[in-house]
Structure 1
């Protein structure tokens, strides 16, 4: 590993920890270190075959390509930011790189959370699972929660709809993540995220089809994955 790669990857753990505080990562107790904190991030392999019901093969292929771009840019920014910091640079250019790092890193992690919970053979929510009971206890019923979650996902703007948990109290909330990294409730843990940027649905549903897209995603949510995050 050359010096540039070494410097660039040294910050990975710190950045990941900081963004967990913004609700953009799963429970840190479930995250296993790679064994090499200096390793670059690598795109995770998500195989959606010929597509998923309601999400076409071409749409998913383009979406996965966009995700890989976030990974690539995250690695590049980590290198550039840390190299500048090692050299004592702190001017406007470095400050802008830091802002961009938050955007790219969060985009990388949110896509991983989203893709991980999509499945053609998705498990339905378990009525006896503590998460389902917490949803019913908070919103009155699963259907009432979903209506509120769908309304979150169809808010005006670009970003993500999310179901998050406050690990301090266990409280559940629906959250809107503007872009990737903004408007997150600090300290919350992401349980379910749905990408509602245009690239996630326009190819199959058109510019005005976000609500139909969210309906299509609903039966693809693998609640085994979501419940494990709880």
Structure 2
């Protein structure tokens, strides 16, 4: 059973001016699709071909002979998660359970913002910054390349993609400006609350 590209939860121009439709033309149509195409080719005729995406990720993690499968599967999953982590008119302070949890575990929203943006800024090279649940507490972590928190005993709640293809057409080398826009205008707190539940 081949995996297919999941539909975006909004129109390609809906995130403008913070993320342009031109970026999504490349990021979603080209990059995300390429990981998917590669994954389907790599899985063809293997024992993993009938597994769920999460199962493929877990079973290939840390195995040198399956690095290509892991990288492409994790990138497919990470990108799908990222598209849902953002929404038109998002960002700003959250409400609901996540607001209480940010207060309890970080001392408030402002401390979360500082830690989250710092993780995104200090991720060397390509990768991701994440808000996760670890041992019943919120934590900020970052992963390089295709790595994903789910294979390290953490539950992802929110991610920002800091591969250059996520922001370069709109922000060039200004990763900090992209992260500012992500936090202020794009975070889908409803999605975060649903992951927390």
Under TM normalisation by the shorter chain, which class is it?
0.7 to 0.9
User: 1:62, 1:181 → 2: CA distance?
Assistant: 21
Distance 1:201 1:123 in 2: 17
* Alignment correspondent of 1:100: 68
Q: In the alignment, what sits opposite 1:139?
A: 106
Q: Find the structure with the greater CA-based Rg.
A: 1
CA distance in structure 2 between the aligned counterparts of 1:60 and 1:181, rounded to whole angstroms? 22
From the superposition, tell whether residues 151 and 123 of structure 1 become closer, same or farther in structure 2 (CA, over 3 Å).
closer
Alignment equivalent of 1:214, drawn from 179, 187, 192: 179
Partner of 2:129, secondary structure, is strand
Map 1:15-164 onto structure 2 (within 5 A): 39-46=1-8, 47-52=10-15, 53-65=17-29, 66-79=31-44, 81-82=46-47, 98-122=66-90, 125-127=93-95, 129-155=96-122, 156-164=124-132
Q: Report the equivalent of 1:198.
A: 164
TM-score (ref. length: structure 2): 0.82
Aligned pair in 2 of structure 1 residues 183, 111: CA closer, same or farther (>3 Å)?
Answer: closer
SS in 1 for 2:152: coil
- Runs of 4+ residues over 2 Å off in structure 1: 47-51, 80-83, 121-127, 182-185
The whole-number CA distance in structure 2 between the counterparts of 1:187 and 1:55 is: 31
For residues 142 and 122 of structure 1, what CA distance do their matches in structure 2 show? 15
Contact 2:13 2:20 in 1 (8 A): yes
Q: CA deviation at 1:121?
A: 3.1
Q: Which runs of 5+ in 1 are unaligned?
A: 1-38, 84-94
Q: Deviation of residue 50 (structure 1)?
A: 2.2
Q: Which structure 2 residue ranges, 5 or more long, are not aligned?
A: 49-62
Number of aligned positions between the proteins:
177
Q: Write the distance in 2 (CA, Å) between the matches of 1:220 and 1:161.
A: 15
Secondary structure at the aligned position of 1:55 is classed as coil
* TM-score (norm: length of structure 1): 0.71
Question: Residues of 1 paired with 2:42 and 2:137: CA distance?
Answer: 34
Cα deviation digits, residues 63-95 of structure 1 (max 9, x gap): 002111111111111125449xxxxxxxxxxx7
Residue 185 (structure 1) shift = 6.7
